[in-house]
Amino acid sequence: MARDIVLKERWSSLVEKLSHQFADGDPLELDAIIYMIGVQELGQYHRKYKKDAKLDLMHIAICRLLEPYGYYEFDFFDEDGWPHYMIKEELPPLKAGEQSVLMKEAIVSYFLDKEYIT
């Protein structure tokens, strides 16, 4: 139970900090944060992305976020600088709420590692 409380507090703090920095205080949703991580991982900040590229950025973020859990492994960067990952282990079937908790936990860990939050 204590772990859930810590995650909830860290998640709220992270959303508030990101929202003030990138969305004029409007609360960012999970998908927006995943997209931002994809842009961060790609490192091409000042581009405009079309819909397909935005989905690819979210995929990059999900792979990067779930890499520490053993589900993906970084493989290579292509000629355009996009990272590619290999599936190491299939994700177990998760209910929507369980997926959300896993992603929030992974995102909080990511930003802790980046020392964006404490």
Compute the distance between CA of residue 95 and CA of residue 117 in angstroms, rounded to an integer.
28
Q: How many CB atoms lie within 10 A of CB 19?
A: 17
The yes-or-no verdict on residue 72 having pLDDT over 70 is yes
> Rounded distance, CA 9 to CA 86, Å?
32
Mean pLDDT, rounded, for 47-59: 94
| pTM of this prediction exceeds 0.95 | no
Count of CB atoms within 10 A of residue 59's CB?
Answer: 14
Tens of pLDDT along 7-24?
999 999 999 999 999 999
Give the three-class secondary structure for 87: strand
